[in-house]
């Protein structure tokens, strides 16, 4: 057993397309002996692992279950349990990677794991490798600039509904809204009220099988959206 702990790598594996992974991420994934993949408490499927599986060598894989809940006590318990699982590997002297879709520090489970690991053992070395975000990939697929000139754009989560969206859209030229699936009907209504339906497009499963790019949001009215759906809004124009 090594006297010094291993390094934890937080690795963003991109939005879904296996080719949208950085060379640095691939290099580390091929050399670490241990890889942690986040999953739901309901199953052991990991989209992040599915994206990178073709590139892996002989690393040991372990799923870390994270509950899909807003209960802070349940979440805190899961973060601590998973952090201690990771720390058992690191304190044995082995390096380990935690993989996540998109970027590891943008609406990512890794941010919570990182903070919890550091709270338990501040001496652990952590190296974060950024990944291509879903909204950058979506903008590329649709050929839509997110910002031009002196414009700004606002990144907002739709997990809490349309309240923050309504507030933020007045202060920026462009917006990206992630996690639109649960309150899509409410978000659609606000877009309609603000006459922004023609300035928005919705992309689901970006870079994955079943990808859709919808430029007429009216066709999505009253539809149930997938978890991997986002909306890009350009108040001046949303066409290339």
Residue 132, pLDDT score: 97
Residues 108 and 148 in one domain: no
Give me the tens of pLDDT residue by residue for the chain, a chain 240 residues long.
457 999 999 999 999 999 999 999 999 999 999 999 998 766 667 889 999 988 888 899 999 988 777 778 888 898 999 999 999 999 999 999 999 999 999 999 999 999 999 999 999 999 999 999 999 999 999 999 999 999 999 999 988 888 888 888 888 899 999 999 889 999 999 999 999 999 999 999 998 999 999 999 999 999 989 889 999 999 876 444
Residues 53 and 116 in one domain: yes
Residues paired with residue 155 on neighbouring β-strands, in sequence order? 176
For residue 178, being part of any structural domain is answered with yes
Residue among 11, 13, 231, 234 nearest 135 (CA): 231
Residue among 140, 137, 170 nearest 154 (CA): 170
Residues 120 and 139 in one domain: no
For residue 205, being part of any structural domain is answered with yes
CATH code for the domain in which residue 186 is found: 3.30.950.10
For residue 11, being part of any structural domain is answered with yes
For residue 240, being part of any structural domain is answered with no
Residue 237, pLDDT score: 61
Residue 69, pLDDT score: 74
Out of 129, 160, 178, a domain closes at: 129
Residue 113, pLDDT score: 95
Alpha carbon distance 96, 9 (integer Å): 6
Residue among 137, 112, 98, 121 nearest 12 (CA): 98
For residue 239, being part of any structural domain is answered with no
Out of 129, 162, 178, a domain closes at: 129
Q: Which DSSP symbol is given to 198?
A: G
Residue 158, pLDDT score: 87
CATH code for the domain in which residue 35 is found: 3.40.1010.10
Residues 124 and 139 in one domain: no
Residues 15 and 28 in one domain: yes
Where in the sequence is the domain holding 83, given as residue range(s)? Answer: 7-129
For residue 165, being part of any structural domain is answered with yes
Residues paired with residue 117 on neighbouring β-strands, in sequence order? none
Residue 160, pLDDT score: 81
Residue 66, pLDDT score: 84
Could you give the number of structural domains in the chain? Answer: 2
Residue 41, pLDDT score: 62
Alpha carbon distance 174, 151 (integer Å): 8
Residues 72 and 149 in one domain: no
Residue 238, pLDDT score: 44
Residues 123 and 140 in one domain: no
For residue 27, being part of any structural domain is answered with yes
Residue 191, pLDDT score: 94
pTM: 0.90
Residues 15 and 96 in one domain: yes
Alpha carbon distance 73, 104 (integer Å): 23
């Amino acid at each position: 057993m090594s006297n010094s702990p291993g390094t934890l790598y937080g690795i963003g594996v991109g939005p879904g397309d296996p080719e949208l992974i950085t060379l640095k991420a691939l290099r580390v994934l091929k050399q670490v002996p241990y890889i942690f993949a986040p999953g739901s408490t309901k199953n052991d499927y990991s989209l992040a692992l599915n994206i990178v599986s073709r590139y892996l060598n002989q690393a040991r894989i372990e799923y870390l279950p994270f509950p899909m809940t807003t209960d802070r006590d349940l979440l805190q318990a899961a973060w601590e349990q998973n952090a201690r699982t990771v720390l058992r590997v690191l304190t044995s002297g082995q390096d380990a990677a935690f993989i996540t879709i998109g970027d590891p520090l943008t609406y990512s489970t890794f941010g919570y794991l990182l903070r919890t690991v550091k709270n338990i053992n501040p001496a652990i070395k952590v190296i974060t490798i950024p990944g291509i975000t879903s909204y950058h990939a979506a903008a590329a697929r649709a050929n839509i600039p997110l910002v031009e000139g002196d414009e700004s754009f606002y990144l907002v989560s739709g997990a809490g509904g349309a309240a923050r969206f309504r507030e933020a859209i007045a202060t920026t030229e462009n917006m990206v809204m992630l996690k639109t699936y649960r309150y899509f009907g409410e978000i659609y209504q606000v877009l309609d009220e603000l006459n922004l339906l023609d300035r928005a497009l919705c992309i689901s499963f970006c870079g994955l099988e079943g990808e859709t790019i919808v430029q007429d949001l009216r066709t999505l009215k009253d539809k149930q959206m997938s978890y991997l759906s986002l909306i890009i809004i350009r108040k001046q124009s949303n066409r290339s």
